[in-house]
Amino acid sequence: MPRRLAGPVQFLKRLMEDWALTEADAALLLGFNETDLELVGPFLEGREALSGRDVRDRIAHLFEIRKTLSMLFRDLDTENGWLREPQELLDQRDPMSLLLGGSMEDLLLVRDYVDAAAGR
């Protein structure tokens, strides 16, 4: 019997839906390689608990990014468009491609950029 999904997993599943992400994308957001997709499925299904500080930190940063963008745009379509548009201050890269690059450094760059856009 699958476990009840923990809050971070529920958030991740909702984020995947809101941002139109695949399980492979989720693997990259969590710091896994695309080839490690089989490691992400059990988390998303509640068969295994999320473990490791890096994964928990990544989810916490993604939560803050999502929360701030939701406050800024208040419209999911606008938010998704912004995530996929090249941004001048990110050297014409779009935030989503940085997030899906898989590095913690790029995830923190996007978080800082989003926080700056919110005036923080």
Q: What's the pTM?
A: 0.87
- The count of domains in the chain is 1
Question: Tens digits of per-residue pLDDT, 8-35?
Answer: 888 999 999 999 999 889 889 998 876 7
Could you list the residue range(s) of the whole structural domain that residue 113 is in? 7-117
Sequence-separated (6 or more) residues with CB below 8 Å from residue 105: none
pLDDT at 4 over 70: no
With respect to residue 14, please indicate whether it lies within any of the assigned structural domains: yes
Hey, CA dihedral for 75, 22, 6, 32, is it positive or negative? negative
C-alpha neighbours within 13 Å on the C-beta side of residue 42? 8
With respect to residue 112, please indicate whether it lies within any of the assigned structural domains: yes
pLDDT at 89 over 80: yes
Question: Tens digits of per-residue pLDDT, 48-63?
Answer: 777 778 888 999 999 9
With respect to residue 67, please indicate whether it lies within any of the assigned structural domains: yes
- DSSP letter assigned to residue 93: B
With respect to residue 33, please indicate whether it lies within any of the assigned structural domains: yes
Instruction: Identify the band that residue 1 occupies on the pLDDT scale cut at 50, 70 and 90.
Output: very low
Centroid of chain to Cα 33: 15
